A and B are shown apart, each in its own frame.
Chain A
Amino acid sequence: MEQAIYGNEKQIKRKIFIRLAIVYALIIFFAIFIIIPFYWMLITAMKTLTQVESAPPILWLNPAEWQWVNFSGALEQAPFLRFTLNTVVVAIIATIGTVITTILSAFAFARLNFKGRDLLFMAFIATMMIPGEIFVITNYITVSRIGWVSLDQSYFEAILAMTVPFMTSIFFIFFLRQAFKTIPNELYYAAKVDGKTDWQYLWRVMVPIAIPTITTITILNAMNTWNAYIWPQLVTMQEDYRLVSNGLRNAFDDTAGRIMYHEQMAASIIVTVPLIIAFLLLKKYIMRGVSRSGIKG
């Protein structure tokens, strides 16, 4: 309902205006606080080395003077195209695996009756509270023992080590099960009457209905891969096999010598921009995931 306003019109309007102005001022203040690191990243990436290393810092650059050459400089520091390719490969494989295992088990939990279902589901949920570090130790042992992590690691082995442990997710199973649960039972009975098997019902009815949720799962999973740092750092033995986050950090560590901040920031932009574009285009789907989760990190 609209807010009805009363009293001396002029006075009230002024009061409301002032209150709104304060709210906007506060919002803008914090918005600037949020935006500054992005801006600083951008402006630094566009400077020459002399401009970067000037004090006081240069806060504004005419776009005509922007040093786009820094991007090619960044790409020379490390094979970012290679890292991007690796990341895309890992993201695709891990996401396909996750989506398939998630659909199958979400279906079992949402639709099928079997002994121990509730108990198993409880066990799943309980493990969501256990911090990932506990798994990482043993998983590192496991992939090493399998032979995926060794000094003469092949590209294929590196990809396996980075994808297989992440081909399922309890959170996504939970998330998709909730979506499946909202599909009315009548559809299932109708399909049964029409002689459809469970398998057909899953792929012809449930999956198409749950496409928005599956899309959300796909996007979040791909974003997680893009931001993954810890595990790939552990299990890749050659620089060439690394993902973007690792490549970015390793290429511009000061242990490697003096940091070229303009190129570091240019590389950061290369890593950041795809995420921002994805966010702007797919906000609706990302938000759907957020309303139910704390899965970042």
Chain B
Amino acid sequence: MEIKLKNLTKVFQSKKEEETVAVDNLDIVIPSGQLTGLLGPSGCGKSTTLYMISGLLRPTQGEIYFGDENVTPVPPEERGIGLVFQNYALYPHMTVRQNIMFPLENVKMDKQESLEKAQEIADLVGIGHLMNRKPKQLSGGQQQRVAIARALVKSPRVLLLDEPLSNLDARLRLQTREEIKRIQRDTGITTIFVTHDQEEAMSISDEIVVLREGVTQQVGRPQEVYNNPGNLFVAKFLGTPPINIFDGEVKDGRLMIGDADIAKKDIDDREVTIGIRPEGFKMVERSKFKAEVDLVETIGRDTTLIIKHPNDETQTFRAIVDADYGVEPGDTVKFNVKPHKMHIFDKETGEVL
């Protein structure tokens, strides 16, 4: 089920008649049968978008299509969606089985059939042995799965997950995100999830949509977006450790940071912002791009150099290099930059050049 959002806009009105534009003219296509991550910092409108797709919120303007059907005027109970809430919203007084069966009760499915269906879904998400427990007796990860089972049991056209991993601890988070990926693949259901954690989105999404203040920044395969960020915001938002930012300029077809010549760049002379991924540095014998090492962190096979920023001595930037370089704090290191790990942005607009 392909989902199309057309000029989707949501304006919230506070009591004092102040208007906040939460989602601004969103125009995206979410591919059928895939796992799509809506990604952005808090307040970017990603949850609002999700709730508009679910029908719990009504758009101020614009339309939502499930396939060719315009579902904008369709109430949530008739949209055929499964929704997993951030804190799961499992009914605390019902057992796992009753929770999973609740949606089937409402469509008046035969008791025996719905029992079987609930068991089948519970087995699929790996909680088939916990059917008689109450939500309180389950771990966070198990509750999450019950919530997913409850959303899946009525065979929805679309599965929506609101910050599915935010309430789990770090270890469970890794495990659960793989589990979500597996369930999505096994069921083939079009799935949209919301997250503010770029790593989470990058690791399991087939496609990500980066949002900022209600406006789409970029849509694409995670690696594609990472490798070719459309603007400075996307470049900064994706990747850990984050991309390093330098002030630079283009002079006579050369890209310069200070007086170091970094690369060739065939555009008119102008000031630019340069982003270089931490893994984009190569240590060399001779280069004008040099700086003093402040700290050295060695973790396993990687060494992270924390280096005084050439633009500003009080700032630092990070370079990840192989562990076998014997670099000490205080040393001056010289770099070349890997061209595909470097992105050049307009200093004013932040658009990629």
Contacts and interface: CB of A to CB of B under 8 A. Distances in A.
A–B contact at 8 Å CB threshold (below): yes
Nearest to B74: A6
Nearest to B76: A4
Contacts of A6: 55, 58, 73-75
A131 interface: no
A7 B58 CA distance: 12
Interface string A134-149: 0000000000000000
Counting contact residues on chain A (CB < 8 A from B), the size range is under 10
A5 interface: yes
B57 interface: yes
Nearest to B13: A2
B75 A7 contact: yes
A4 B60 CA distance: 11
A1 B51 contact: yes
Interface in B17-76: 51, 55-58, 73-76
A140 B55 CA distance: 67
A4 B55 contact: yes
Nearest to B77: A6
A5 B74 CA distance: 9
A2 B57 contact: yes
Nearest to B51: A1
Interface in A1-36: 1-2, 4-7
A4 B57 CA distance: 5
Report whether over half of chain A's contact residues are helix, strand or loop; otherwise say mixed.
loop
A4 B73 CA distance: 10
A182 B73 CA distance: 48
Counting contact residues on chain B (CB < 8 A from A), the size range is under 10
A1 B55 contact: no
Contacts of B75: 4, 6-7
A285 B58 CA distance: 39
Contacts of A7: 73, 75
A1 B57 contact: yes
A5 B75 CA distance: 7
A4 B75 CA distance: 8
B21 to A, nearest CB: 16
A223 B56 CA distance: 46
Contacts of A5: 58
Contacts of B51: 1
Instruction: Tell me which of A1, A4, A5, A7 has the highest count of chain B C-beta atoms within 10 A of its own C-beta.
Output: A4
Contacts of B58: 4-6
Interface string B307-338: 00000000000000000000000000000000
Interface string B71-102: 00111100000000000000000000000000
Contacts of A2: 57
A6 B75 CA distance: 6
A242 B178 CA distance: 76
A2 B10 CA distance: 13
B345 to A, nearest CB: 37
A285 to B, nearest CB: 26
A7 B72 CA distance: 10
A239 to B, nearest CB: 56
- The 8 A-B residue pairs with the shortest CB-CB distance, nearest first, are A6-B75, A4-B58, A4-B57, A6-B73, A4-B56, A1-B56, A4-B55, A6-B74
Interface of B: 51, 55-58, 73-76
Given A4-B75, A7-B75, 7 more contacts: A1-B56, A1-B57, A4-B55, A4-B56, A5-B58, A6-B55, A6-B58
18 contacts: A1-B51, A1-B56, A1-B57, A2-B57, A4-B55, A4-B56, A4-B57, A4-B58, A4-B75, A4-B76, A5-B58, A6-B55, A6-B58, A6-B73, A6-B74, A6-B75, A7-B73, A7-B75
